[in-house]
Amino acid sequence: MPPFSAIPPSSPFAHMHIGPYLLANNLFVAPMAGVTDRPFRMLCKQLGAGYAVSEMVTSRKDLWKTLKTSRRADHTGESGPIAVQIAGTDAAMMAEAAVYNIERGAQIIDINMGCPAKKVCNKWAGSALMQDEPLALSIVEAVVAAALPHGVPVTLKMRTGWCQQHKNAVNLARAAESAGVQMLTVHGRTREQGYKGVAEYDTIAAVKQAVKVPVVANGDIDSPEKAQEVLRLTGADALMVGRAAQGRPWIFREIAHYLATGEHLAAPLVGEVRRLLLAHLDEHYALYGEYTGVRTARKHIAWYLRSMPGGEVFRDHMNSLQDSASQQRAVAHFLDDLAQRHERLPQVKTDSLPLLESIA
Ligand SMILES: Cc1cc2nc3c(=O)[nH]c(=O)nc-3n(C[C@H](O)[C@H](O)[C@H](O)COP(=O)(O)O)c2cc1C
């Protein structure tokens, strides 16, 4: 399938670069650990995402050779630019992690200050860094210095701040820009909020006003209308979608179409969803192998089917299947059955984004 780009070249919402890389469009799939692996990123790109960042890779050297990290660092067959997100709390280790990933094909390095990442070296990484601006800045400077000789741009993903009383995104954004960061993504929640409450866009708008580098708005974008509203409220250069893309990778072409035309794209044909999901599963099993593949595919299947009639009941059955052949057969059967009753995917509920408290 050719890359999808519904945004007219004349649109101000087109032609965005990160360093030397021209992006297909300005709709990004958010990095989500355990979700945006290579098969899912490739699917999102195929269905209209102009850019995808990998799941975060730890800066802990002792973990680089683990199966989990090597899978995350595998970009075989992925269309560029290849962006790898790194997480950690030590400037020198982060610089080393940047170089390690550049040597393995990363064309862009993204620093994670946006996700409540796990403890690295007894300190909380990710958005927890926003609490310690000098440390955050020293990491940014070290990573930029390490990536510069390779001609690799560095980007930063953060939240609005540490907590309601300490929203320091604007300060950090200015400092990061001065240190050489070439794009900033802001999730409109504080670290303290986790995934609770609603994202606010005023702080993202303030960041956009404060810097010259492109700013990406993120948080709670779950429909074409919401995408348009967030663009209007923030003046951002690009939008990033996370949870709403889980089980709905075609959301990118739906948003792109709406932004370009003001009209809604028809829901996908059930037959197309069947084809996409089965192909996704093939790629998934190929990356993870039979045992892990079957188990980690369950959440993706559940996301695809969660809003379909009969999806809940099917999920319980599907979770009991232990091998890839029966898992795929069951999915095919479920969608064949649905296709008897619906030509297109029945309207998706957009009122509830999944809350994954385990990562918050
Ligand atoms: C399961 C899951 C894993 C995530 N992993 C990461 C990560 O590895 N790096 C990161 O910067 N953000 C991570 N995030 C945060 C998302 O990138 C995004 O900022 C957040 O979900 C808000 O966007 P949304 O409302 O569109 O989901 C994760 C979110 C979820 C739900």
What pLDDT does 211 receive? 98
Q: Is 115 tagged catalytic? A: yes
What pLDDT does 12 receive? 47
Question: Among 28, 54, 115, 356, which is best to mutate for testing ligand 1, by the most ligand atoms less than 8 A from CB?
Answer: 115
Would you say how long the chain is, in residues? Answer: 360
Find the 309 Cα to ligand 1 centroid distance in Å: 27
Instruction: Please list the alpha-helical segments (H only) found in the chain.
Output: 38-46, 67-72, 91-103, 133-147, 169-178, 202-210, 224-234, 251-261, 270-288, 290-305, 311-318, 324-341
* Rg, C-alpha atoms of the chain: 20
Is the Cβ atom of 219 under 6 angstroms away from ligand 1?
yes
pTM, two decimal places: 0.93
What pLDDT does 117 receive? 61
CATH number, span 17-261: 3.20.20.70
Is the Cβ atom of 222 under 6 angstroms away from ligand 1?
no
Domain map (residue ranges) of the chain: 17-261, 270-341
Question: Among 243, 252, 351, which is best to mutate for testing ligand 1, by the most ligand atoms less than 8 A from CB?
Answer: 243
What pLDDT does 40 receive? 97
Find the 242 Cα to ligand 1 centroid distance in Å: 6
Is the Cβ atom of 57 under 6 angstroms away from ligand 1?
no
Nearest to 117 by CA among 43, 186, 194: 194
Chunk the chain into consecutive blocks of 10 residues (it has 360) and report each block's average pLDDT, rounded to whole numbers: 45 76 95 94 96 86 80 84 92 95 94 73 70 93 98 97 91 98 96 90 98 98 97 97 97 96 96 98 96 97 92 92 97 96 78 44
Find the 333 Cα to ligand 1 centroid distance in Å: 32
Is the Cβ atom of 112 under 6 angstroms away from ligand 1?
yes
Q: Does domain 270-341 have CATH number 1.10.1200?
A: yes
CA distances, 246 to each of 235, 299, 307 (Å): 26, 9, 12
Nearest to 200 by CA among 183, 182, 218: 218
